[in-house]
Amino acid sequence: MPGKNLSRDEAQQRASILAVDGYRVRLDVTSAPDPAAATFRSTTTVAFRCTEPGAATFLDLLATAVRSVTLNGRALDPATAFDGVRVHVDGLAAENVLEIEADCAYSRTGEGLHRFTDPADGETYLYTHYEPADARRVFATFEQPDLKAPFTFTVTAPAAWDVWSNGAVETVTAEDGARTWEFTTTRRISSYLTAVAAGPYHVARDHYSRELADGTTLEIPLSALCRQSLAPYFDADEILGVTKLGLDFFHETFDYPYPFGKYDQVFVPEYNIGAMENPGCVTFKEEFVFRSKVTDAAYEARANVILHEMAHMWFGDLVTMRWWDDLWLKESFADFMGSYGLIGARTRYSSAWVTFANQRKAWAYRQDQFPTTHPITADIRDLEDAKLNFDGITYAKGAAVLKQLVAYAGSEAFFEGARRYFKRHAFGNTELGDLLDILEETSGRDLKSWAAAWLQTAGVNALTPQLTVDAEGRITELAVLQDGDVLRPHRIAVGLYDRDADGALMRTGRIELDVTGARTVVTEAAGRPRPALVLLNDDDLTYCKIRFDAESLETLRAGLGDIGDDLARALAWSAVWNLTRDGLMPARDYVALVLRFAGQEGNIGVLQSLHSQAKTAVDQYADPQWRAEGERQLADGALRELREAVPGSDHQLAWARFLAQTAGGAEHLGLVRGLLAGSARIDGLEVDQELRWSLWLALAAAGQAGDEELAAELAADNTASGKRQYTQCLAARPTPEAKAAAWSAVVDSDELPNALVEANIAGFALPSHRDLTALYAAPYFKLLERVWAERTIEIAMRIVGGFFPSAQISAQTLAEADAWLDGHPLAAPALRRLVLERRDDLARALRAQACDRA
């Protein structure tokens, strides 16, 4: 499989004959401040061994031009050696030194070396992002995770800039208006984990020390970076405080000293993902630098990501999967450790498992019910497959399954297994079997059958309670029914809930057991009084959808918000949302539950999830004939709760943002405009810049924001965030011209940076504008293969997913999607997967609408 899309077979063949001793990479980015300069100079010197002298191989490189290729002192003709994506070399010796000099392109897509110029002050910033395979956009490399090597980076940059990489700074020399930074050589790491950041970043510094068991002291320099214009908002003390708590926790838990020297954390603009675990130089999206007030859920999410990336220093960086099939060996573990660590590290975020149950697992349940679902250990044929597998299964389902494994094998056995795993495979690559062998040692359990059921099969089980009760109201039998294509072993807790003297629903009994097969009897329940609520998977030990018996469901309809325990209540909310998505509960019933009980929801993260899900229920799952009534109810509910919320509270801010999302009537939009103008006021609500843009988006979507008004708001907030929000507002206007402009800006040109591509798509695709966007369904299906061929995969994925006619929920749209899939059997598998998943969302919405209509 030639070209950009490196196959697993090619990677295996290359690794079978090569071992890499080290890279020296020299980059010259002195041209970066000049917007007319499209490229930078990249020189790679790689030393490697070959077990088959005389053989041929290739390095991966996406470059504008290759200037020279020299193998063992022999010059090769770049015109024949470089085909645009690979540098081919033959006649290899047992030991080789290859030097490649190239011109590589600055990126605006967040892939490779991304260049950003800050509209606030004109300063330019660079950073790299590579996973899974974009290091080849910056230097020539063997782009696969199992050809690890030490890396030495040298970067020449403008004299006023600073530069960061994985290693510590070794020397800095100045000459001719530039400075050259040489960094210490890294330990053996994979190419996708290397990193460079350069520019006039604002820096906060700290230090971490720890006495080790051998009597030595581990010293880790810490830093946190952001753009200069964000420095006034940068709460580096909070970020570095969580960092130090995390380092304490992971050292205590993993018993393996942090192996990468320093620990820099760089918050960067226009980032495609949440964060990336580059050892010694972690990168984060700069939206984690909060310019305006956010709820505590945002701070918790940031802390979770900090610990997630820190867990990767061990799971992923120290020990790395051999190929992307076993991506879960790092992502599932890091996702699990992010939540586990918030509790274990004694941060202030004590509701981490509530957030996990309500938000992360919702992502997993959705992904796992697509026809494209896959086992946690997936079949990854090539890099395009790998790119799409950074999904809810690899992250959230895998993390949930690990939580089940901890319950199944025992916490101490699990973490002792992790400690042995790091020591045994440090700086190496592993597969599933390597981890299972160690966990079997520490737990004494046969985990191969467990892994076969949980890691090597796809799909989610549903667990339903089945009760029989005698004339005196006592349980004669309680059984757990398991449904699904694969029946798995589940370690669960069954919670029995009744009302206390104050009317709260409190747990009066808890039974922990193993569920196996289609029907498992809960023997300990016999003879107990029939409770008001039977909650399966109490404490959220396993990964499953939970259902309810009829009486328990009626209890929830009458009093879901009365459940006293935060996690139990979150599980109930998750369960009724799954019932709605599955077409088993009418969307209007779910909306009624939210409107009745969301106002008393104490957990702010759960509340914000309810807002999002209720809006989805109205936009997608409600009978179109009832949709307008549902929209009105949501807006009225948001306005009511906003006025009743505690002044200045997180809940007040959440309801204000929800009002901005739902406002449609004259009363709602009048308040929105009044809040912007200052003529209306909600006690305690600060209408700061981010909230202002949310309110402007509401007016823009309703056709009540003029061009001059939006331009004036941008002038007052001439920042990267302001430009992004302004772009979304323009695309959100309910006119054919606005939709045409947004479509054209994304589809007809590749000049926009990734952030503005996303903003245009978000404004274009508002569900309330379904009549305006309907005429784009046919053009959408015609452009798919062209977009996939011409754009980078990151941008192509956004266009394919974002412009799918999701708002056109009809049998006709379903037929159009099916016709494209049937007519393009040989289209790229990753492209077909994206279309098939959006098609499945459409079919689910039609089923849910039928339920709501009935």
Q: Could you list the active site residues?
A: 309
Q: By C-alpha distance, which of 756, 748, 803 is closest to 778?
A: 803
C-alpha dist (Å) from residue 683 to 368, 387, 430, 645:
44, 47, 57, 10
Q: At 437, which amino acid appears?
A: D
Strand pairing report for 178-183 and 169-175: antiparallel
Q: What is the DSSP string of 539-606?
A: TT-S--EE---HHHHHHHHHHGGGB-SHHHHHHHHHHHHHHHHTTSS-HHHHHHHHHHHGGG---HHH
The answer to whether residues 164 and 225 touch, using CB atoms and an 8 Å cutoff, is: yes
DSSP string, 401-415: HHHHHHHHH-HHHHH
Cα 851 to Cα 621: distance, rounded to the nearest angstrom: 9
Angle (deg, nearest 10), helices 296-312 and 236-254: 40
Give CA–CA dist 595/5, Å, rounded: 48
Coil, strand, or helix at residue 747?
helix
Show the DSSP H helices in 396-549 as ranges: 398-409, 411-425, 432-443, 447-454
Please provide residue 62's backbone torsions phi and psi, each rounded to the nearest 5 degrees: -110, 100
Residue count of the chain:
854
Of 735, 728, 716, 780, the closest CA to residue 758 belongs to: 728
Q: Which residue has the tokens 């809960």?
A: 522
CA distance 179 to 199: 12
CA-to-CA distance for 404 and 406, rounded, in angstroms?
5
Rounded Cα gap, residues 653 and 295, in angstroms:
7
Query: Can you spell out the DSSP letters for 352-404?
Result: HHHHIIIIIHHHHHHHHTSTT---SS----BHHHHHHTSSTIIIIIHHHHHHH
